[in-house]
Structure 1
C-alpha cells in the first residue's frame, strides 16, 4: 500500500473514495509561477490553481528568515477540516515514492496555512520536481474527497528569483523600528552611538517600505535648565532627526515633529542614568 493511500486512510478516506478524488492542479500548459517583491522588505511567490484559488509563499524582512504559506481558496471552509499534505511525484516520474510533509486543520472561514518548516519543505519538494498536494474531505459534501496540488512546471526560474530576493531582505522588520527611542548625550543635540545605529536602521527601512504613511518624531529633555530652554532643545532634537530622515530620501511631508521639553519624563531626574532616559526622541511609524 502506498504512503499516499496510508495518509488518506488516516483521514478516514476509503479506498473507493480515493478513486473518486476531485483533483485541482494546473496542467502542463497552464502551470505558471509569479514572483514579485518589495525590495528588501518582502518576497512573494504565487501559483494559480485553476478553478480553486492560488498558492502563495511570502517571506518578509526580519531578524530570522521566515516563510509563510497560504492556500488562498475561492470557497473558504465551512467547518474545521482535517487535511494532510503529501509530496507526490508527477505522472511522468513513475516509481518515485510519495511522502507526507505535514498534517493540518483548515479552520472555518479561513484560508489554509502550514507551519514555517512545512512551507520550506514544500519549496524543496517543488525544486526537485515533486507536487505538494493537500487531501481533505469536501466541507460542503462529506462524501466527496478533494486533492489540491501545486505543479512544479515552470517553477525553477521564478524560484531562483525568489531565493535571490530572500538573500537581500533586511535583518529587521517593521515591528523592530515602528517605535524607536533615541537617546542623547547630556546638554546637547548629539545622539549616543547606539542611537545613531538605531536611527540608521529606521532611515534605511523607510527608504524601502512604500506602505509607511506617517512618521511622528517627538523630542524630550530632562528637567535640568529652564523650561523655555528645554522646550527649544527638544524641538531642535526632533528637527535634527527629521532632517536626517529627509536627507535619506524620506518625503518631508510624511514627517511630523513636536518638542515637549521636560513635560513628559519617563521617570525622576535624580541620577545621571535617570536623566539620560528622559533625554530622548521617540520615532513612531504608522502604515
Structure 2
C-alpha cells in the first residue's frame, strides 16, 4: 500500500468529523455572499468563476479547441508551501441531512503553484453543483500541522451562471491558436485564387484574428512555381501576399500587425517538373506570433 494512500486515508478519516471541530478551518461562501459569474465569455475562452471569502477563487475554464476541454483551477490567496494531497469530495448542504458524501478525486498541491484538476473531474464537479451538492477540498494546513482545512464551493446562485457558461462553451471555436499558428495555403494554377480547401483555411484564420487582440504579428510569405517568367512570378507572389493582407485589413485587422512579402520562385519545396510539385510551390505561408 503506497505511503500517499495512507496519508490520504488518514487525512480523510480526520476531516470527516463534525464541522465544529476546533482543528478544522472552513472556507466557503454562504447564501448571502455566494457569487458565480462568467468572467470570460468569448469564442476563444469561457471561464466560470466563484469567489471564496478569505481564501481565493475557484475557476472552471474551457478554450477553443478541436476537442471539448475543461480545466478547474483553485486560485489560492496563500499558495502551498510544500507538496501534499487534497481530497475532493461531493458534500450535501446542511439543508439536506442524511445525504451521503462521496470522493470525486485526489488533487495534488505543489509548492507555490495553483492546484488544478483535469477535464473529467471538472465536469463531474459542475454536475454535482447542478444537483445541489458542494464539491469540497480537504487537506492538512502546511503552516500548522494541527489544523485541517476544508474549502467548499457553494451552490447558491450557481445555476444561472452555469447555464450561461454552458452556452459559451457550446459557442467556442472548434480549433485553437496552435491549429492555425503555422499555415500553408495553396493556389490555383497561374492565379491568386485559393484552392477550395485553402479558402476555408484562411477564413478560419481571419475569424481567429478578429477575436484575439493578443496576436502580436502576422507574417505572410507568398511563393510561386517556376512556370512562366521569373519577373512575372515575383509580381504574382507579391499580389498574392498583398491580397491576403488586404483581406485581413478589410475584416478589421490592424495593418500594423501584418507583414506581407512576395518571394517569387525562391524557396521551392518540391520539384517543378510535375503538376503536383508545382502545386505545392504555389503557396503562401502564414505565421502568427503571440507575445
User: TM-score w.r.t. structure 1 length?
Assistant: 0.92
User: 1:106-127 CA distances to partner (integer Å, 9 max, x unpaired)?
Assistant: 1121111111100001111111
Number of the residue aligned with 2:256: 253
Q: Does 1:281 pair with 2:280?
A: no
Counterpart pick for 1:262 among 246, 262, 265: 265
Deviation per residue, 1:157-211 (Å, 9 max, x gap): 1111111111111111111111111101222211111000101111112222222
- Contact kept in structure 2, 1:38 and 1:208, CA below 8 Å: no
Q: Distance in 2 between matches of 1:285 and 1:79?
A: 39
111-120 or 204-213, which deviates more:
204-213
CA distance in 2, matches of 1:88, 1:159: 19
Aligned partner of residue 92 in structure 1, secondary structure? coil
- 1:71 and 1:129, CA in 2 relative to 1: closer, same or farther beyond 3 A? same
Q: Which of the residues 155, 159, 170 maps onto 1:152?
A: 155
Question: Do the aligned partners of 1:67 and 1:120 also contact (CA within 8 Å) in 2?
Answer: yes
Distance 2:237 2:190 in 1: 11
What's the counterpart of residue 162 of structure 1? Answer: 165
Pairwise CA RMSD: 2.0
My pick for the range that moved more, 255-264 or 17-26, is 17-26
Partners of 1:203 and 1:17 in 2: how far apart?
A: 53
Q: For 2:38, what is the secondary structure of its paired residue? A: strand
Cα distance in structure 2, aligned partners of 1:139 and 1:124: 30
SS of residue in 2 equivalent to 1:97? coil
Secondary structure of the residue aligned to 1:265 is: coil
Provide the residue aligned with 1:10 in structure 2. 9
- Of 48, 52, 69, 1:49 maps to 52
Counterparts in 2 of 1:146 and 1:271: CA distance versus 1, 3 Å? same
Aligned residues: 282
1:192 maps to 2:171: no
Q: Unaligned stretches of 5+ in structure 2? A: 1-5
Hey, what's the Cα distance between the residues in 1 that align with 2:45 and 2:130?
21
Q: Is the 8 A contact 2:8 2:87 kept in 1?
A: no
**Structure 1 CA distance for aligned equivalents of residues 214 and 197 of structure 2:** 27
Match of 1:4 in 2: none
Give 1:22's aligned residue: 25
Among 107, 110, 123, the residue aligned to 2:110: 107
Could you say what secondary structure the match of 2:278 adopts? Answer: helix
Q: 1:13, CA displacement in angstroms? A: 5.1
Unaligned runs of 5+ in 1: 1-6
Q: Any conservation in 1 of the 2:38–2:47 contact (CA below 8 Å)?
A: yes
Q: TM-score, normalised to structure 2's length? A: 0.91
SS at match of 2:88: strand
The answer to whether the 8 Å contact 1:11/1:83 transfers is no
On the 8 A contact 1:83/1:134 being kept in 2, the answer is yes
Distance 2:33 2:144 in 1: 28
Residues 169-184 of structure 1: matches in 2 within 5 Å?
169-184=172-187
Is residue 201 of structure 2 the alignment partner of residue 201 of structure 1? no
